[in-house]
Amino acid sequence: MSMSVVEVRHLAAGYDGREILRDVSLSVSPGDVVAVLGANGSGKSTLIRTILGLVPLSRGEIELFGTPQPRFRQWARIGYVPQRLGAGSGVPATVGEVVASGRLARRGIFRLPGAADRTAVREALTDVGLLDRINDPVATLSGGQQQRTLIARALAGKPDLLVLDEPNAGVDAASQEAFAAALTRFAGNGGTIVLVLHELGPLRPLIGRTVVVHDGRIAHEGPPPEPAGHHAEPDHDHVHPHADEVKAGICEWAPTEGAKSY
Ligand SMILES: Nc1ncnc2c1ncn2[C@@H]1O[C@H](COP(=O)(O)OP(=O)(O)OP(=O)(O)O)[C@@H](O)[C@H]1O
């Protein structure tokens, strides 16, 4: 039996005494690609931020790579792409500098970057199709390109687990395709992915399991729903309140199916 990458048992968590997540249990094994779906405000971001230790848990337990989260120290094994920074973050850094910051946990802040760091930065930028922008200020990039820069920063750290919070939100189709390809390569090399998504979009072929959060609980867990046009089984065992929402996402994706390049 292989060790879980993420193990969540009976988790409760929230903010200022207001409980958002209630009795959430989740297990992510090495190589899994898990999409967390659900309506706005259902608690998807809170779930992944609690897993990462950014929100304190009020009950339950979390293990990361077999270690209880409070004792976990190997943060370089985890790459995290938060929701978009948003335009006007005012950071004057170049694309290369932002991606290089993803190496800090690997090399330690008191060592100068070496050849391995520079190589990792260039590889990660190549992976998301932005190597030609390495010396440009991030502020001059489109929202989608900035999002790809954040994904490159996470990839540059050579993590075993990638956690992404709505990487597709408001991102142009070219950027979505570019990082779908990057994530596909990451998963193809055995990487584990947990990502919050509004719709499966171009990532659909990559998703092994979907977890639907509703009102702070996991309402459904299983393989991704079939794309529109497929009518395999009449219906799933567990119907959840957001079935229509998930299908709506799939419908939006379906027309671009032929445009996929992998
Ligand atoms: N830092 C915070 N402080 C207080 N309340 C918060 C904080 N972050 C989120 N919340 C609240 O927790 C609830 C769940 O929010 P969360 O961001 O986890 O939902 P979500 O499913 O990720 O939604 P979205 O798709 O809109 O990002 C919401 O009611 C939200 O207002």
210-254 confidence digits (pLDDT tens): 999 999 999 999 998 776 655 544 444 444 444 444 433 332 222
Paired tokens of 85: 């920074």
Q: Is-contact 33 209, C-beta < 8 A?
A: yes
Q: What is the mean pLDDT of the chain?
A: 82
Position 205 in a domain = yes
The residues that bridge with 68 in the sheet, in sequence order, are 63
- The residue range of the domain holding 180 is 6-259
- Is residue 260's pLDDT more than 50? no
Q: How far is the CA of 15 from the centre of ligand 1 (A)?
A: 9
Torsion of the alpha carbons at 39, 45, 47 and 53, rounded to the nearest 10: -170
Atom number, ligand 1, closest to the C-alpha of residue 46: 18
Position 207 in a domain = yes
Give the model's pLDDT for residue 246: 40
Q: What is the CATH number of the domain that holds 44?
A: 3.40.50.300
Which of 15, 16, 195, 197 for a ligand 1 pocket mutation test, highest count of atoms within 8 Å of Cβ? Answer: 15
Q: Is-contact 134 100, C-beta < 8 A?
A: no
Position 55 in a domain = yes
Length of the chain: 262
Q: How far is the CA of 215 from the centre of ligand 1 (A)?
A: 11
Position 57 in a domain = yes
Position 122 in a domain = yes
Atom 31, ligand 1: residue with shortest CA distance: 41
Give the model's pLDDT for residue 109: 60
Position 1 in a domain = no
Q: What is the mean pLDDT of residues 129-134?
A: 95
Atom number, ligand 1, closest to the C-alpha of residue 14: 12
Q: What is the mean pLDDT of residues 60-79?
A: 94
The CA distance from 184 to 250, in Å, is 19
Lowest mean pLDDT among 2-6, 34-38, 104-108: 104-108
Give the model's pLDDT for residue 237: 43
* pTM, to two decimals: 0.82
Q: How far is the CA of 136 from the centre of ligand 1 (A)?
A: 33
Higher confidence at residue 108 or residue 7?
7
Domain count, the chain: 1
Position 54 in a domain = yes
